[in-house]
Structure 1
Amino acid sequence: MKANTIQGTQVVSRVAALLRLVARKPSGSSITALVRESGLTRPTAHRLLSSLGAEGLLDYDAATGHWTLGPEVLLMGSVAAARFPLEDIARPSLRRLAEETGESAFFSVRRGNETVCLLREEGSFPVRSFVLHEGVRFPLGVASAGTAIMAFLPEEEQKDLLSSWDIHAGPFAAGHTEAVARANLEQTRSKGYAINPGLVLEGSWGMGAAVFDPAKRPAWALSLTGIEPRFREDRQEFLGRLLMEEAHRITSQLQ
């Protein structure tokens, strides 16, 4: 029984991992990319993908060879959305941020040791950064939303993440070294908002502010992204103030 339980848990973990990987790209992913990113063998990945497709959780596009999220995920999401009316609360803040700054505004949620982008509102400035979109995940402490959240976690949680930072940050560790992460966290606690100076993608800057749940824990974040000239030092205070005002507004509504 114990062996069967472990095997069943492993299957669930693999299925969840594949769904998350597919969800990262609206255009979908090929089986070659999914095998590389998941670490699964090609036969195992094919078997799981086919099963998910049969259940309507994934779709396969024969023209592109890509797997995308299926209609059952949409139905599940619509049901879940009724329990978590965050879009109704966060969307007005995103619109105000986009209108007042001209930049693209985002709302992200903490999921374990990652942040996941949930909502986006495009600004009017014609040149944009496309690093962030709905479904994109980053490790906590990477990118502005994750840094804004991690900076206000309990000290022990921060220590745990920093103790194995290279593993935690994964492919982002080269740009986000432990020393850089520590400095960014300290700066965020001092200013109240996070700044990411093109560490994910050169020339693409971001700023973020944490949103707190009723237990006073950072659970979400608002962020702005754009090209480097739009985030010059003399504009950062203005952008940071707007982010914190809207983050406080959402926090107050959630209380």
Structure 2
Amino acid sequence: MAWARDLFGTAAANRYDIRAIAHPWVRHLAEETGESAIFSAVRGDETVCLLREDGAFPIRSHVLYEGVRFPLGVVSAGIAVLAFLPDREIDQFLATHDLTETYGQTHAEPEIRRRLEKTRQCGWSLNAGHIVPGSWGMAATVFGPGERPVGALTLTGIETRMRAERQPGLGALLLKSAHTLSSELQRSRKMKER
């Protein structure tokens, strides 16, 4: 549980409990969509799943579970976070991390850059079964103080539940929830610093 100590230590240092603030939004997304909803936090060059709530739909994807880590650029949360880092940091990350060694050619630099560009265009990221075929995810970036990405809200489910016709509605819900959560995190930190 070293990851938990590190994350809780980071949260304490930042003077707000990110899990407690994110939990209602994770629950809301699960209830609203029927899918599994997740909040992942940035930890160095990775995202770490801190919270998960399953919706009512009986078939679930279990790629993301509490405590699992993935490098930035992998899974929808990692794409959502990486997309909104400064270009210089994206270039540095991609120059120093070969994601294909572990995750295959769908994680080659040109593929990652295409996903980052698409995420910047529509605001949310899509993982179309790049880790486990048939297991899809969508995520929206959560921003902390200074508009820096601190994590992402994610919806995961099976491919048939995340087809193109449903994506705009799910994406809009993710963006609205991530925006509100970002505002709450920023407000909470300001109040604690008074």
Per the shorter chain, which TM-score range? 0.7 to 0.9
Does residue 1:232 correspond to 2:163, yes or no?
A: yes
| Residue 191 of structure 2: aligned partner | none
SS in 2 for 1:200: coil
Which structure 2 residues correspond to residues 1-255 of structure 1 after superposition, within 5 A?
A: 19=2, 83-166=15-98, 168=99, 170-255=101-186
Distance 1:253 1:163, change over 3 A: same
Question: Number of residue pairs matched?
Answer: 184
SS in 2 for 1:138: strand
- Higher Rg: 1
- Contact map agreement 1:98 1:121 (CA 8 A) in 2: yes
SS in 1 for 2:146: coil
Distance 1:96 1:19, change over 3 A: closer
- Contact map agreement 2:125 2:138 (CA 8 A) in 1: yes
Distance 1:169 1:158, change over 3 A: farther
Q: Deviations over 1:102-141 (max 9, x none)?
A: 0000000111111000001111000000100011000101
Question: C-alpha displacement at 1:195, in angstroms?
Answer: 0.3
Q: What is the TM-score normalised by the length of structure 2?
A: 0.88
Question: C-alpha displacement at 1:246, in angstroms?
Answer: 0.5
Query: Hey, what's the Cα distance between the residues in 1 that align with 2:105 and 2:119?
Result: 20
Question: C-alpha displacement at 1:81, in angstroms?
Answer: 6.5
Partner AA of 1:108 in structure 2: S
Partner AA of 2:113 in structure 1: R
Which fold has the larger relative contact order, with Cα–Cα distance below 8 Å and residues 6 or more apart in sequence? 2
Query: Hey, what's the Cα distance between the residues in 1 that align with 2:171 and 2:183?
Result: 18
Structure 2: stretches of 5+ with no match in the other structure: 187-194
Structure 1: stretches of 5+ with no match in the other structure: 1-17, 24-72
Task: Percent identity, please.
Answer: 53
Partner AA of 1:241 in structure 2: A
Partner AA of 1:175 in structure 2: T
Partner AA of 1:141 in structure 2: G
Query: Hey, what's the Cα distance between the residues in 2 that align with 1:176 and 1:150?
Result: 13
Q: What is the TM-score normalised by the length of structure 1?
A: 0.67
